[in-house]
Structure 1
């Protein structure tokens, strides 16, 4: 199997293209600065992962910028900090301003010359529009959790993506699903029989950070530590 075998790359955005862990840590600082006990970076991210995934299961139709304030409030309750709803809402609106990884734009610009680029994101349209301005390319499909009414890893999100891409003449075998999260993306990719590429942004860290532990580790067809590593591997293929 080669990267050049595929016609379309379908992307998770937050965690793969956008540095969501960095965005979370910065956005939560007004809260974490007031916590009386010591918290490591991974303590913060793992707690966020729990409350985010739980909120997504219980409120699948809620927009991401509406869901993040609930996560902020649950974290404040767990850590014993009093917050206002306005503070919670400010965190929800911060996600549209989170930055791309340093390698993302150059890699996407290269990959756009060779593949259709498609987004399957657990955010809403307003939040993604902020990210899109930072990513520097036009995507051939943008499918948000708001569009679908549920959050990955729900089957519904992948059913929707595959149905929409089929209308463009892109079949399942044409797709390489490209993502960081084992929980949100690679486990369902395995279930749907999608070829998959792990962008292992946390290759130098322990644990799963801002994503839930997937349990049994999913399999993957390719693994790179960054988007630029993926682009370079494709260049090497074409060079023979």
Structure 2
């Protein structure tokens, strides 16, 4: 079991960990696809989204808004339709309406009493600012892909975060839902990690990646993590 007393800062992935990105993406893409006579189930949409996004983020850096526009364009290529300008912007424009998971805000407020809180997110500064309002806590540092000019799982994003946090690695605990984007890289750099496995009770494809490198702790949600941290 992790000794939470050794940590001074918790670094968080945002979308999928704190913010319900699946419902956000589905809310934008499902009506768009249906408008073009493309009826896919939720896991098919999320799997394709993850595939297209990962491919784009491996290339030369472009802003996340452009990544999302190109993802929509790739859905069009895959299923034989040409998205309108409004449709190309639909996912990015919807981010301002994406909400935290039901347990997120209360858990963050509890954790804020004990730790410095830091965001490491594959997003643009302006897009995260929308989400920050929903999260209702003040983060000590916010590191975005726009600042790093790269996307997780790149080491670069974590190096920038560690530099900004300015604490020994053994005092930083990284918390994330994506094994692919976060857990593997964080562990490789010597960080302790908590896998928030919000899809544990869901059937179908594991959108967040297989657990190739084991986290130090697995929890089903942030409420559970906050409860563990509050124990003496």
TM-score interval, smaller chain:
over 0.9
| Residue 48 (structure 1) aligned with residue 45 (structure 2) | no
Q: Which residue in 1 is equivalent to 2:79?
A: 79
Q: Which residue in 1 is equivalent to 2:229?
A: 234
Q: Structure 2 length normalisation: TM-score? A: 0.94
1:35, distance to aligned residue in structure 2 (A): 4.8
Q: Which residue in 2 is equivalent to 1:127?
A: 127
Paired residues of 1:104 and 1:135 also in contact (CA < 8 A): yes
15-24 or 157-166, which moves further after superposition? 157-166
Q: Structure 1 length normalisation: TM-score? A: 0.91
Distance (whole Å) between structure 2 residues aligned to residue 191 and residue 75 of structure 1: 33
Paired residues of 1:67 and 1:92 also in contact (CA < 8 A): no
Distance (whole Å) between structure 2 residues aligned to residue 35 and residue 225 of structure 1: 36
Structure 1 segment 141-152 matched on structure 2, within 5 A: 141-152=141-152
1:190, distance to aligned residue in structure 2 (A): 1.6
User: Gaps spanning 5+ residues in structure 1: where?
Assistant: none
Q: Secondary structure at the match of 1:13?
A: coil
Distance (whole Å) between structure 2 residues aligned to residue 24 and residue 147 of structure 1: 23
Q: Secondary structure at the match of 2:35?
A: coil
Paired residues of 1:18 and 1:100 also in contact (CA < 8 A): yes
Pairwise CA RMSD: 1.4
Instruction: Return the match for 2:194 from 193, 197, 217.
Output: 197
After superposition, give the CA deviation of every residue in 1:13-56 in whole Å (9 maximum; x if it has no partner). Answer: 00000000110000112322135454111100000001111111
1:101, distance to aligned residue in structure 2 (A): 0.4
